[in-house]
Amino acid sequence: MEKLVIEGGYRLSGEVEVSGSKNASLPIMAATILAEGDYFIDNVPNLRDVRTLSKLLNLLNIETEQKQNSLKIKNNGGNSFEAPYELVKTMRASILVLGPLLGRRGKAKVSLPGGCAIGERPVDQHIKALKAMGAKIEIEHGYIIAECERLKGTDIYFDLVTVTGTENIMMAAACAEGETTIYNAAIEPEVVDLGNFLRKMGVKIEGLGTKTVKIYGKETLSPTNYRVMNDRIEAATLICAAAITGGDVKILGVPKNCLTTVIEKFLEIGVEIEDIDNETVRILSKKKLKAADITTQVYPGFPTDLQAQFMALMTVAEGVSVVTENIFENRFMHVAELKRMGANIRLKDRSAIVTGVEKLSGAHVMASDLRASASLVLAGLIAEGETHIHRIYHLDRGYEKFDEKLNKLGAKIKRVENGD
């Protein structure tokens, strides 16, 4: 297994480009189950999760070929319908094949994704909605076993906002008989990107990006070409990296229109953000950062996927910040590790109270999940001495060449084999 060894204390400068979005690429890849034929998907990040979903598609008789950031997909049809435990256990987003498999192939056997470091993460809303569309679903031996004739469009009321739940039902509804209206739908930009992809496949969708989405099901859809949106979470993580090191970094490909709340927060803590053009910013961070409170919420609120990275910034900001996590019940695994590096953080219910310290010190730390890994890298960039981050396979799940990108900006990060 590999670990990262970071020598802290280098100010970042230069230019860096944001990659395509992981959380938009995955549902779009799953949507290729909906129609046989050839697809060309561009701006797909070369990540572990993308490779895992490719393997899963291959088991479903769908060929995939990734060259740098473009992905050729050829859906050869057939009736395979199983997403095995071995793949699902490494990536919860595998659940995204449930809706399209059921919609197109009438059958699905998908390993029930377990909980993970950030929470229990049930999929009851996905199942409830598919049942409402006429599917028969049982849970047996750890698998969701589902079948149907043709799904029937209906009204779906989600009890809570679920991103992949909304995406699964949009895909199922795309080939269902009649219309499906999703109430309390997720409005995250990645849901909209999937909706735009489905539109290119021939699906009529109303209300995309609002809390009520209406999908007009269609018997036959067409394969298509598409360019995936850029990754808003990676973009903001790179802003954090520039800001925490007091750097001067130009970031290209920032989907600013999806980051309004986050950019406001950066400005509040004293990060200087210069708009160069529509998708380019220059981050200047000469002064010490100031404390600020954040509360994670569904879009357009502050994203839970940035909570850990923002907390790393707060560990060295002036004053006391309260970071409240509302989406996942257990997304504070990075706290204990940041404390090993000298951070002053106290957990109380769903909040972390962070009192800024003068400096962090390098230590051996364990990455527990994707964004926790990123927050430890950020802390390592400014810690005194060496930080060793173990279990970085979590980081590789969702950040494309993160260490390489930071090294090009002047960081000192080595990737080494450590045998654990």
Ligand X SMILES: CC(=O)N[C@H]1[C@@H](OP(=O)(O)OP(=O)(O)OC[C@H]2O[C@@H](n3ccc(=O)[nH]c3=O)[C@H](O)[C@@H]2O)O[C@H](CO)[C@@H](O)[C@@H]1O
Catalytic positions, please? Answer: 116
Binding partner of 371, given ligand X, ligand PEP, none, CB within 5-8 angstroms per partner class? ligand PEP
Instruction: Compare residues 121 and 199 and give the one whose CB is closer to ligand X.
Output: 121
Closest approach, Cβ 167 to ligand PEP, in A, equals: 11
User: 92 labelled as ligand-binding?
Assistant: yes
Which of these segments, 100-108, 123-131, 148-156, 196-204, binds ligand X (CB under 6 A)?
123-131
Q: 3-state class of 60 per DSSP? A: coil
Binding partner of 209, given ligand PEP, ligand X, none, CB within 5-8 angstroms per partner class? none
Rounded Cα distance, 107 and 76, in Å = 17
Instruction: Compare residues 4 and 194 and give the one whose CB is closer to ligand X.
Output: 194
User: 282 labelled as ligand-binding?
Assistant: no
Closest approach, Cβ 215 to ligand PEP, in A, equals: 23
- For residue 300, cis peptide bond before it (omega within 30 degrees of 0): yes
Rounded Cα distance, 305 and 283, in Å = 21
- Exposure string for 171-200, b = 16+ CB within 10 A, e = fewer: bbbbbbeebbbbebbbbbbbbbbbbbbbee
User: 396 labelled as ligand-binding?
Assistant: no
- Residue numbers at the binding site for ligand PEP (CB under 6 A): 23, 92-93, 305, 370-371, 398
Binding partner of 82, given ligand PEP, ligand X, none, CB within 5-8 angstroms per partner class? none
At residue 72's C-alpha, the angle toward residues 68 and 78, to 5°, is 145
- Give CA separation, 121 vs 163, 174, 190, 326, 393, in Å: 12, 25, 19, 13, 20
Closest approach, Cβ 264 to ligand X, in A, equals: 19
- Residue 408, sorted as left (phi over 0), alpha (psi -120 to 50) or beta, turns out to be alpha
Closest approach, Cβ 305 to ligand PEP, in A, equals: 4
Residue with tokens 């269609």: 218
Sole binder of ligand X in the list 14, 78, 114, 122 (CB under 6 A): 122
Rounded Cα distance, 169 and 167, in Å = 5
Instruction: Compare residues 273 and 395 and give the one whose CB is closer to ligand X.
Output: 395
Residue with tokens 């021939």: 202
DSSP one-letter code for 221: -
Sole binder of ligand X in the list 101, 317, 327, 352 (CB under 6 A): 327
User: 122 labelled as ligand-binding?
Assistant: yes
Binding partner of 125, given ligand X, ligand PEP, none, CB within 5-8 angstroms per partner class? ligand X
- In terms of DSSP bridges, do strands 212-216 and 179-183 run parallel, antiparallel, or are they unpaired? antiparallel
Closest approach, Cβ 304 to ligand X, in A, equals: 5
Q: How many residues does the chain have?
A: 420
> Does residue 305 bind ligand X (CB under 6 A)?
yes
Q: Is the dihedral of CA 140, 89, 84, 123 positive or negative?
A: positive
Residues 236/269, Cβ–Cβ less than 8 Å:
no
Which of these segments, 121-129, 283-291, 373-381, 412-420, binds ligand X (CB under 6 A)?
121-129
Rounded Cα distance, 158 and 180, in Å = 13
Sole binder of ligand X in the list 51, 107, 121, 256 (CB under 6 A): 121
User: 72 labelled as ligand-binding?
Assistant: no
Residue with tokens 């509804």: 173
Closest approach, Cβ 53 to ligand X, in A, equals: 10
DSSP H helical ranges for 320-392: 333-340, 370-382
Instruction: Compare residues 94 and 245 and give the one whose CB is closer to ligand X.
Output: 94
The residues in 153-172 that bind ligand X, with binding defined as CB under 6 A, are 160, 162-165
User: 231 labelled as ligand-binding?
Assistant: no
Closest approach, Cβ 306 to ligand X, in A, equals: 10
DSSP H helical ranges for 315-369: 333-340
Q: Which two tokens stand for residue 315?
A: 């560990």
User: 277 labelled as ligand-binding?
Assistant: no
Residues 402/240, Cβ–Cβ less than 8 Å:
no
The residues in 29-88 that bind ligand X, with binding defined as CB under 6 A, are none
Residues 252/214, Cβ–Cβ less than 8 Å:
no
Binding partner of 189, given ligand PEP, ligand X, none, CB within 5-8 angstroms per partner class? none
Torsion angle in degrees (nearest 10) through CA of 222, 164, 136, 138: 140
User: 3 labelled as ligand-binding?
Assistant: no
Q: 3-state class of 390 per DSSP? A: strand
> Does residue 224 bind ligand X (CB under 6 A)?
no
Sole binder of ligand X in the list 38, 86, 124, 404 (CB under 6 A): 124
Among 64, 107, 103, 51, smallest CA distance to 82 is for 107
Q: Which residues are annotated as a binding site for UDP-N-acetyl-alpha-D-glucosamine?
A: 92, 121-125, 305, 327
Output the known binding site for phosphoenolpyruvate: 22-23
Q: Can you give the binding site for ligand X, defined by CB under 6 A?
A: 23, 26, 93, 119-126, 160, 162-165, 190, 304-305, 327-328
Question: Can you say which residues are annotated as belonging to the binding site?
Answer: 22-23, 92, 121-125, 305, 327
